Amino acid sequence: MPEHLALAPAWQEIQSRLRSTVGEAVYDLWLSELRLSSWDGRVLLLAAQSGTESWITARYGGLLERCASAVLGTQAKVAFLGDPAAAAHSALTAAGTSLTGSGSTDLNPRHTFEQFVIGESNRLAHAASLAVAEAPGQAYNPLFLHAPPGLGKTHLLGAIGNYLRGFSPSTTVRYTTVEAFTNGFIAALKGQALERFKHLYRDVDVLLIDDVQFLASKARTEEEFFHTFNALYESGRQLVLTCDRLPHQLTGIEQRLRERFGAGLVAHLTSPDWSTRVAILRKRAAIDQIHVQDDAVFELIAERITDNIRSLEGALIRIVAHHSLTGDPVDTALAARVLDSIRPITGAGRKQDSSAAGKRVVTVNDIQRTVADHFQIQVQDLIGPSRLGTHSWARQLGIHLTRDLTDLPLQRIGEAFGGRNHATVLHSCKRVSDRISLNTEDAQTLQELLETLRSQQ
């Protein structure tokens, strides 16, 4: 049998670990095209798309080796075809090597509390996770982290595990996914190793389980999981679970498990607001040592990508990828081109609300006139070059309201306010958000303007 076929199960497991660690967007962009060539017991030889080898090695070489080592059961090095050293190792490869993994999933070392960006959307979930890490079995048990995909629940799960391994090494921690739990259970049944499987999951102090929604329609696995849950819970040991649905929504899972999931603290994570999205991008760039020419790049991405953190970071990675392949600087011009290709702006620059059918649509001219009247200035002062405090603040409010009440793209908003650029529009919006959070009078001014504009509909 050709070696790459004998290694196929191990390679699939390595790929699965890579995907769960970096997320779908990064995996699809950089790692999905990797192909297995050979394994000689020391070096895993891979084929990559021409021109991407050095980038993958620099950014993901360490991760590739950790995932390979975890699955192959030995310290593995990763190399790419075309590398002279890799070719030398390849010549030593023995055909037909059979490899199996342990079935457990390693913690991602990047998933720490320090690297988690806290905002209003996740503050409770973060605080609860930290409390569990500091006092497992005493704070919230079980802790059920609920969020749609890509909002950070797996990050918090990993942060708990990494915290305990760093600060409480005597605490036995196991992190797994329901998929890995299921595969391990099936293998244990076939190999008559059920007692060993039970020991693996029940003789721990903290059990971290990702994606419990996948227990649905797996009757035998669900039964085993129920007994595992009970064994840990009744002995006061900590369980933390993540799910993309609330306990009562898991209709494919028995009621007795749903009740146990909801018996502790259910902590929600929601989509991050604009300022949190910017902070996430800044932190990701700092961690990956990505040099961004203009801070407005982060603001532009955060403006366009609003659904989840995975998509947000994926957009940044795509922009950096274009920079790597073309040499263009990472600035707002490059960011706008890439974002236009993955998230094109639609519509005619007006926000339509199905619940407000028949209402008059507010236009940028309405907003400019209303703001100018409120501050008793001319519209020309609003859109002109004046730097007077009153004029600048009125202008920033007008830009903020235009972004909020219309679908005009940033470039068009800038043009409507005197030919200003992306960065100025984003800065104005941020300035308004900052001021209204600190000053009740400024917040009241914004509210009055909104009420006036809505009364015109």
Question: Which of 241, 105, 108, 250 has its CA nearest to residue 184?
Answer: 105
pLDDT in tens, the chain (457 residues): 334 445 677 788 888 888 888 777 678 777 888 888 888 778 888 888 766 777 788 778 888 988 888 887 778 888 887 654 443 333 333 222 222 233 344 678 888 999 999 988 899 999 999 999 999 998 899 999 999 888 999 999 999 999 998 898 889 999 988 988 988 898 888 888 888 899 889 999 999 999 999 998 888 999 999 999 999 999 999 999 999 889 988 988 999 999 999 999 999 998 888 888 999 999 988 887 888 878 888 988 988 888 788 888 888 888 888 887 788 888 888 888 888 887 766 443 444 443 344 455 678 888 999 999 999 999 988 988 888 888 999 999 999 888 878 877 787 888 889 888 878 888 888 888 878 877 778 888 888 888 888 777 5
Measure Cα distances from 299 to 153, 226, 296 in Å.
Answer: 24, 46, 5
Sheet with 265-268: list strands edge to edge.
173-177, 206-210, 238-243, 143-146, 265-268
Measure Cα distances from 325 to 57, 84, 320, 328 in Å.
Answer: 15, 23, 9, 8
Task: Give first-to-last CA distance, the chain, whole Å.
Answer: 72
Report the distance separating Cα 278 and Cα 423, nearest Å: 13
3 state SS of 110: coil
Sheet with 43-47: list strands edge to edge.
35-39, 43-47, 77-80
- Please enumerate, as own/partner, the contacts of 104-107 that have beta carbons within 8 Å and a separation of 24 or more: 104/174, 104/175, 104/176, 104/180, 104/184, 104/200, 105/17, 105/20, 105/175, 105/176, 105/177, 105/180, 105/210, 106/17, 106/66, 106/67, 106/70, 106/175, 107/158, 107/161, 107/162, 107/165, 107/175
Residue 201 pLDDT:
92
Identify whether the C-beta of residue 14 lies closer than 8 Å to the C-beta of residue 73: no
The domain ranges of the chain are: 3-90, 123-268, 274-342, 354-455
Number of DSSP helices (H) and strands (E) in the chain, helices first: 21, 8
Angle at 315 between CA 310 and CA 317, to 5 degrees: 95
Q: Which CATH class is domain 354-455?
A: mainly alpha
CATH number 3.30.300.180 given to 3-90: yes
Residue 356 pLDDT:
40
What letter does residue 24 receive in the DSSP assignment? H
Give domain 123-268's CATH architecture. 3-Layer(aba) Sandwich (3.40)
Global pTM value: 0.58
Measure Cα distances from 66 to 97, 106, 123, 395 in Å.
Answer: 20, 9, 31, 52
Residue 106 pLDDT:
67
Report the distance separating Cα 379 and Cα 382, nearest Å: 5
CATH code of the region 274-342 = 1.10.8
Measure Cα distances from 435 to 219, 274, 372, 432, 444 in Å.
Answer: 55, 15, 19, 5, 11
